[in-house]
Amino acid sequence: MDWTALRLSLQLGSFTVLLLLPVGIWAGRRLAYRDFRGKGVVEALVALPLVLPPTVFGYYLLVGFGAASPIGQVWHSLFGRPLVFTFEGLLVASVIFNLPFAIQPMQRGFEAIPREVREAAACCGMSPWQALRRIELPLAWPGILTAMVLGFAHTLGEFGIVLMVGGSIPGETRTIAIAIYDRVQAFDDLAAAQMSALLLAISLVTIALTYGLSRRVGRRLG
């Protein structure tokens, strides 16, 4: 049982979700409320990571953020470490790759709020910020929570990108999914079995939570 890898995975999941929370709320809300030219394109782009093979994404990340790239070099000079093969690099990749898991449930959550309810909030004298805090977020909260739970679980399981961009460095980028792979190669079946069972349990809990929460969306607005 590789506790460092587990800790790393939990950290990666938590930070990803933390960063995606404001991004998801902002983007999900905008997409839910507005119709604009090119909205279809934006939604397709957001959904892209759902169908994009992780290795393709990993490849483009390496090309775009690697040591030879402008972004990579700027990052290196700013922070003294490369963007790839580091936890921060994984975090950047994870945030981008989890965009659809964050944005889509949140968008659904906001879409479920009837337009007239939002308008009623404005007619009650609430500024857009107040309406967001007191009316929209409470009503969209199950969608937001679903997004966070899905994003967390998905990050825990992410493998291809982590391998390509992270490099399986223990304590830095060797997440628990990579560690399982590593233990199998090392013929350490016991550790691999333990960690796999743990991830399975986490996945089951995630699914149960997600389904329970999506039922609550209906009840809240019913």
Partner 1 sequence: MSAGLLVRLHQDAPIPLAATFACAPGEMLALVGPSGSGKSTILRTIAGLYRPRNGAVSVEGDVWFESEAGVWLPAHRRRAGLVFQSYALFPHLTALDNVTAALGHLPRGERRARAGQLLELVHLAGLEGRRPAELSGGQQQRVAVARALGREPKVLLLDEPFSAVDKATRQKLYRELAAMRQRLSMPVVLVTHDLDEALMLADRLSLLHHGRTLQDGPPLQVIERPATLEAARLVGQRNLFDATVLEHQAPPGFTLLRWCGRVLEAERNPLYPVGASVSWMIPSSHLVLHRRDRPSRGEHENPVPGIITECLPLGESTSCALTVDGGADLSLAFSVPSHVAARNRLAPGERATVSLLASGIHLMPPDDTCPPVG
Partner 2 sequence: MARAPLLHDRLVGAISDETEPDRTAASFRSSEENCSIPTDQSGFTRSEPLAGRFRHIGIRTSASLALVAGIALLTIAGLARSAFADEPPTVAAAADLQFALTEVAAAFAAETGLEVKLAFGSSGNFARQIRQGAPFEMYLSADESYVLELSRDGFTRDDGVLYAIGRIVVIVPDGSPLEPDGTLRDLRAALADGRVQKFAIANPEHAPYGRRAEEALRHAGLWEAIEDRLVLGENVAQAAQFATSGSTAGGIIAYSLALSPKVSARGRFEPIPEAWHAPLRQRMVLLENAGATAGRFFAFVQAPRARAVMRRYGFVLPGEGS
**Nearest residue to 150 (alpha-carbon basis) of 188, 94, 222:** 94
Give the 3-state DSSP-derived string for 72-96, with helices as H, strands as E and coil as C: HHHHHHHHCCCCCCCHHHHHHHHHH
DSSP SS3 for 3: helix
Closest approach of Cβ 207 to partner 2, in Å? 27
Which of 76, 157, 160, 196 touches partner 2 (CB under 8 A)? 76
By CB under 8 A, what part of segment 153-212 binds partner 2? 167-172, 174, 182, 184-188
Least separation, in Å, of the C-beta of 136 and partner 2? 10
Q: Does residue 67 belong to the site contacting partner 2 (CB under 8 A)?
A: yes
Q: How far is the CB of 219 from partner 1 (least distance, A)?
A: 9
Nearer to partner 1 by Cβ, of 120 and 169: the residue is: 120
Decide: is 214 part of the binding site for partner 1 (CB under 8 A): no
Q: Which of 57, 87, 101, 110 binds partner 2 (CB under 8 A)?
A: 87
Shortest distance (Å) from residue 141 CB to partner 1: 9
- State the minimum distance, in angstroms, from the CB of residue 41 to partner 2: 21
Nearest to 29 by CA among 117, 144, 126, 154: 144
Please state, in angstroms and rounded to a whole number, the distance separating the CA atoms of residues 222 and 216.
10
Beta strands in the chain (DSSP E): none
Number of other CB atoms surrounding residue 124 within 10 Å: 11
- Give start and end residues of each alpha helix (H) in 34-53: 39-51
Instruction: Lay out the site mask for partner 1 across 112-131 (x = CB under 8 A, - = otherwise).
Output: --x-xx-xxxxxxxxxx-xx
Among 7, 39, 115, 133, which residue sits at the site for partner 2 (rule: CB under 8 A)? 133
120 binds, among partner 1, partner 2, none (CB under 5 to 8 A by kind): partner 1
Among 89, 85, 202, smallest CA distance to 154 is for: 202
d(CA 95, CA 13): 9
